[in-house]
C-alpha cells in the first residue's frame, strides 16, 4: 500500500477511491499465483504442508556466506580439520551440525601457490547453498558461465584478480548432484589472527574463486 503520510483526522465517509489507489504492482503477480496454487495442490495431495514449506524457506534464509567463512577459517587453523574437509566436504560440514537439505555432494577445492580454483555452473546456477546461501546474480548469467570455461584468466582479471601465468587455473563445473567450495589461500600476515578474525576476511566471492582473500590493515574485533 502507499505510505500514509497525510493526517488521519479528515472525513472517511467516501471510500470509493480505496480500491482504485491499489497499484497493479500490488496485485498478485504470475509467480505469486503459481506459488499459491502449487502450495494448495501439495497440501491437497498431502505431499507437503504449508508449515513444512515455510520451515524450508526459513532454513534457506538462514544460510549466508558467513557460514562458509567459518569453515574456511577452521581449515586454515586446524590441519586435521582441513584434511578431513578436503577428503569429505559434506560429511565434515555435517559433523559440525551444518545440515544439507538436499542430496548433493560437496567437494572442497584447495587453492595453492601453483593452483587457483574457479567454480561455475555452465548449465544453470548450481551452487553450495547450504554453506553460502543464494548465489550472486552474475553467477547465473550466461557471460560468466561461458567465459569461466573459455577464458577464465581474463574473466578473473575483470574481478581484479590477476593470476600469474605460472599458476594453473582449474575450473570446476557444478552439477545438480555435486557442488564445489573453494578453500582460498590464507593471506600472508595473518599468523596472529584468531579464527573469528580470519572468518571475517573470507568473502563469498573468494569461496567461488573469483577473488583472493586479503588481510586487513587493522585487526577485526574477535
Catalytic residue among 62, 93, 95, 125: 125
Catalytic residue among 23, 62, 95, 121: 121
State how far the Cα of 171 lies from the Cα of 203, in Å rounded to an integer.
19
Could you tell me which residues come within 8 angstroms of residue 70 by beta carbon, excluding any fewer than 6 positions away?
195, 199
Burial (CB < 10 A; 0-12, 13-18, 19+), residue 121, is: buried
Closest to 106 in 3D by CA, of 134, 126, 136: 126
Catalytic residue among 23, 124, 174, 176: 124
Could you tell me which residues come within 8 angstroms of residue 109 by beta carbon, excluding any fewer than 6 positions away?
117, 119, 170, 172, 180, 181, 182, 183, 209
Closest to 117 in 3D by CA, of 199, 203, 184: 184
**Whether residue 125 lies in the annotated active site:** yes
**Whether residue 121 lies in the annotated active site:** yes
Catalytic residue among 23, 62, 93, 126: 126
Three-state secondary-structure class, residue 171: strand
**Whether residue 23 lies in the annotated active site:** no
**Whether residue 126 lies in the annotated active site:** yes
Provide the annotated active-site residues.
121, 124-126
Amino acid at each position: 500500500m502507499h505510505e500514509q503520510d497525510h493526517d488521519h483526522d479528515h472525513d472517511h465517509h467516501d471510500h470509493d477511491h480505496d480500491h482504485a489507489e491499489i497499484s497493479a504492482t500490488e496485485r498478485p503477480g504470475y509467480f505469486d499465483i503459481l506459488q499459491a496454487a502449487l502450495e494448495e495442490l501439495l497440501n491437497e495431495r498431502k505431499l507437503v504442508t504449508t508449515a513444512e514449506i515455510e520451515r524450508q524457506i526459513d532454513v534457506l534464509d538462514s544460510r549466508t556466506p558467513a557460514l562458509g567463512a567459518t569453515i574456511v577459517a577452521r581449515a586454515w587453523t586446524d590441519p586435521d580439520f582441513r584434511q578431513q574437509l578436503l577428503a569429505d566436504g559434506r560429511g565434515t560440514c555435517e559433523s559440525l551440525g551444518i545440515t544439507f537439505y538436499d542430496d548433493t555432494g560437496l567437494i572442497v577445492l584447495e587453492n595453492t601457490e601453483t593452483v587457483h580454483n574457479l567454480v561455475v555452473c555452465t548449465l544453470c546456477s548450481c551452487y553450495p547453498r547450504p554453506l553460502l546461501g543464494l548465489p550472486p546474480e552474475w553467477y547465473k548469467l550466461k557471460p560468466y558461465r561461458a567465459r569461466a570455461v573459455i577464458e577464465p584468466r581474463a574473466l578473473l582479471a575483470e574481478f581484479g584478480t590477476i593470476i600469474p601465468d605460472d599458476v594453473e587455473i582449474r575450473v570446476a563445473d557444478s552439477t545438480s548432484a555435486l557442488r564445489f567450495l573453494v578453500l582460498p589461500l590464507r593471506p600472508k600476515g595473518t599468523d596472529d589472527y584468531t579464527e573469528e578474525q580470519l572468518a571475517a576476511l573470507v568473502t563469498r566471492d573468494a569461496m567461488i574463486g573469483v577473488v583472493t582473500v586479503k588481510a586487513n590493515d587493522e585487526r577485526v574485533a574477535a
